[in-house]
Structure 1
Amino acid sequence: MPPTRLFALFALWLWAGSAAADPTFWANEFPKTDFSRSAVGGWGEIVSGGPGRDGIPALSAPAFRPAAGETRLSDREPVMVLDLGAGPARAYPIRYLTWHEIVNDTVAGRPVAVTFCPLCNSGLVFDRQVGGEVLDFGVTGKLRNSDMVMYDRQSESWWQQATGEGIVGRYTGTQLTQLPAWMQSWAAFRAAHPEGLVMDQPDWPRAYGRNPYVGYDGARRPFLYRGEDPPHGIPPLARVVRVGARAWPLSRLRDAGEIAEAGVVISWRAGQASALDSAAIGQGRDVGNIRVRDGAGRDLPHDVLFAFAFHAFWPEGTWMVD
């Protein structure tokens, strides 16, 4: 990572770490949030990531175009794929999610939130329906264990992106339903879904296709993370595949090609660029395409996140190492 970028990150860490965790102050940004209800161990667990509320602008009702007509994406660029089986599969390019982190969409009549936290490499899709209410999600600008804290615009409850759990406010303790979705290279998506749709470029002044976190997944420590390192000598920023409360190191999957155990079948195929390596997202080193299915071949909800995030949010989780 360039020294200037390291200095900028360190300066931001000092600034964010010095800000006292204070619900009274946060109430200025979130006047509807019920801060008397919380599932966090202490307010010090939540820190500012730099931008305030909506400083990272979530998107809603994005436009789509046929995948066959999209020429701006390079073959190895990662996209989040959602295929609900009703209508064409949809691809949400990470080049857009890197700058917006949340996309509120409706697919085949189902309200969904497509989310990506660059600091944890966590890409998840949730059903936006909770107890009969459809929620719209935004970015609080806060982090917990370096993971994005989302909020819903209806109650202004806060939600942990990596787990889908309500952690502050009316929906504290409520669990969002995670849907089967996966990160895949653009070329692999086009080959599998020639009639698929891809999210069009948002109308925002952003350097889409550029990675603002150059070299991040090669760093020694995660940004704004103060917790323990993972066990088994696994580097904090190594990728793992999480299914429920189990995590498989990506290095093991890459070596094996396919692993079938604990009721799941996980496959690895080369061809997807890391979104958090080089300045151009499509030129990042190859981290491969992952699919997670059950014994009947059905796609399962999962995540490919950094090892430190799994350890932080599933401290009693099972590590599927050799």
Structure 2
Amino acid sequence: MNRRTFLVTAGVGVTLSLSGCLDGSGGAGAPTDGFEETNGDGGMSPVGSGNVSLPVPKDDLNRGASKDAIPAIVSPKFGSDWSDVDATLDDGELVIGVELDGEARAYPLAVLNWHEIVNDQFDRPVLVTYCPLCGSAVVAERTVAGDTRTFGVSGYLWQSDLVMYDRESESLWSQVLATAIRGSLTGSQLDLLPSTTTSWGEWRESHPDTSVLLPPPVSDTVTGRQTRDYDRNPYLGYETSSRVGIGFNDDVDDRLHPKARVIGVAHGDKAVAYPLSTLSETPVVNDEVGGLPVVAAATVDGTLVAYDRRVDGSAITFDRESGTDVLTGDGSRWDLHTGRALDGPHEGAALARANDRSLMFWFAWADFFPETTIYSTE
């Protein structure tokens, strides 16, 4: 694996306030502001494609903001659009799309760039998270050991990723790994749920009955009524620069640009990253990851998806209708956005997701899955 150090200052012409991650405290530090210091049993936990020693040492956590300075949403409200709020949501705006038991909701990054966490409720307690520094969306059930947890933003970063805390135990959690890394719940893992990072227009077209998260103060936060300028991106320029995090990453895997967007699939002891740049030039990829048959593709508008291509225990080899978001396989046509069979012998069936996490920046996937391979057509 080739590794080198990337610049940790923004490139020329990059406007990067990092308003959501910095509150002026800066620097590295250990959890000393009320977080639970009980470290659990420690030892090695098989998270990522290698083993991570838990609890994570205090010195490995870096202070980006004070606790709750980035106020998590605890009472989300939804509407059919943003026509009645003082902000705009254009079709091209990115959202995290979640569909559970036939109910679809969209969580705009215009909100999550400022709040990072939404404590929601479908037919079960759900946690929707986004780390702007890693470009990573992770959705999970927020039930641990039978108890519903309410999550907030600790203000710490680990491997440039959002570190969450749960109110009930004050344990600290890695967002990408969905694992408690310090505190009494160390080693506990959240059950991940499927999600898609896509445009509002594309999500709404494929899920016409969707609702969308309304920004605060309509939705309430852990610190009460809050509001931000949701028409402004506090990370403007970050996603195209070589900057990684806020300066704590020394070594970055340079096989891809650090901000290349990838969708990662991990199964067994294998992990594969599928870059948007490659999938945009390849109609459909039929692959296998650690014994899991995978079909991966990019939609016409650039949304990355990956599905388990088994139906009734048999793996299907897929093709694609030219210029469309329709796959063909085993006599049926399949909607690329949802994985559902539109007709034929499998009509009504749905492919399961192959990826546990939505797309993220390459550097983040490589940090947490260091032994990953990169899919290539060469």
TM-score interval, normalised by the smaller of the two chains:
0.7 to 0.9
Show structure 2 runs of 5+ residues with no match: 1-10, 43-53, 218-225, 312-338, 340-350
Aligned positions of 1:117-132 closer than 5 A: 117-132=131-146
* Matches of 1:67 and 1:93, distance apart in 2: 11
Indicate how the Cα distance of structure 1 residues 13 and 127 shifts in structure 2: closer, same or farther if over 3 A, else same.
Answer: closer
Name the CA shift for 1:252/1:82 in 2 (closer, same or farther; >3 Å). Answer: same
Between the aligned partners of 1:140 and 1:82, the Cα distance in structure 2 is 24
C-alpha distance in structure 2 between counterparts of 1:235 and 1:171, whole Å: 35
Relative to 1, partners in 2 of residues 1:140 and 1:68: Cα closer, same or farther, differing over 3 Å? closer
The equivalent residue for 1:275 is none
**Any conservation in 1 of the 2:180–2:188 contact (CA below 8 Å)?**
yes
Please point out which of 81, 99, 104 is paired with 2:114. Answer: 99
Contact 2:15 2:237 in 1 (8 A): no
* Contact 2:92 2:201 (8 Å CA) reproduced: yes
Aligned residues: 294
Who wins on radius of gyration, i.e. which is larger? Answer: 2
Equivalent residue number for residue 336 of structure 2: none
* 1:18-41 C-alpha deviation (Å, 9 max, x unpaired): x4x33xxx23332x3424666155
- 1:27 aligned partner: 32
Once the 2 structures are TM-superposed, how far is the Cα of residue 320 of structure 1 from its aligned partner? Answer: 2.3
Give the corresponding residue for 1:293: 307
Paired AA for residue 304 in structure 1: L
Contact 1:95/1:209, CA 8 A, preserved across alignment: yes
Q: Which residue of 2 aligns with 1:214?
A: 236
- Corresponding residue number in structure 1 for 2:256: 234
Given the alignment of the two structures, is residue 256 of structure 1 paired with residue 279 of structure 2, yes or no? Answer: no
**Structure 1 position 312 matched with structure 2 position 345:** no
- Equivalent residue number for residue 276 of structure 1: none
Identity across the alignment (%): 37
Query: Which amino acid letter does the alignment assign opposite residue 228 of structure 1?
Result: D
Q: Does the CA contact (< 8 Å) of 1:68 and 1:194 recur in 2?
A: no
CA–CA separation in structure 1 for the residues paired with 2:92 and 2:216: 21
Shift of 1:136: 0.7
Q: Are the equivalent residues in 1 in contact too, given 2:25–2:66 (CA < 8 A)?
A: no
- 1:94 corresponds to which letter in structure 2? L
Residue deviations 1:86-123 (CA, integer Å, cap 9, x gap): 4x31111111111000000001x210100000000001
Cα deviation, residue 307, structure 1: 1.2
Map of 1:42 onto structure 2: 57
The Cα shift of 1:128 comes to 0.5
Counterpart check, 1:189 vs 2:189: no
From the superposition, tell whether residues 68 and 29 of structure 1 become closer, same or farther in structure 2 (CA, over 3 Å).
Answer: closer
Deviation at 1:310, TM superposition (A): 1.4
Counterpart secondary structure, 2:125: strand
Q: Flag the 1:247–1:8 CA change in 2: closer, same or farther, 3 A.
A: closer
- TM-score normalized by the length of structure 2: 0.71
SS in 2 for 1:208: coil
Is it true that 1:199 corresponds to 2:254 in the alignment? no
Q: 1:13 to 1:210 in 2, by over 3 A?
A: closer
| Higher mean displacement: 246-255 or 289-298 | 289-298
Q: What SS does the aligned partner of 2:364 have?
A: helix
RMSD: 2.6
Query: Aligned in 2, Cα 1:188/1:7: closer, same or farther, shift over 3 Å?
Result: closer
Is 2:153–2:164's contact at 8 Å kept on the other side of the alignment?
yes
1:77: which partner in 2?
93
Contact 2:262 2:359 in 1 (8 A): yes
Unaligned runs of 5+ in 1: 272-287
Q: Which residue of 2 aligns with 1:303?
A: 358
Cα separation, partners in 2 of 1:190 and 1:15, compared to 1, 3 Å: closer
* Native 8 Å contact 2:40 2:55 kept in 1: no
Q: CA deviation at 1:66?
A: 2.2
Closer, same or farther in 2 for the Cα pair 1:202/1:8, shift >3 Å? closer
Further displaced range: 218-227 or 205-214: 218-227
How many angstroms does 1:42 deviate by? 3.2
Residues in 2 aligned to 1:8 and 1:82: alpha-carbon distance in whole angstroms: 26
Task: Determine which structure has the larger helix proportion and give its number.
Answer: 1
User: TM-score, normalising length from structure 1?
Assistant: 0.83
For 1:8 and 1:193, the matched residues in 2 are separated by 32
Shift of 1:15: 6.8
The amino acid of 1:319's aligned partner reads I
Partners of 2:262 and 2:276 within 8 A in 1: yes
Shift of 1:77: 0.6
* CA contact 1:124–1:178 (8 Å) conserved in 2: yes
What is the CA–CA distance in structure 1 between the aligned matches of 2:373 and 2:185, rounded to whole Å?
28
Look up the match of 1:138.
152
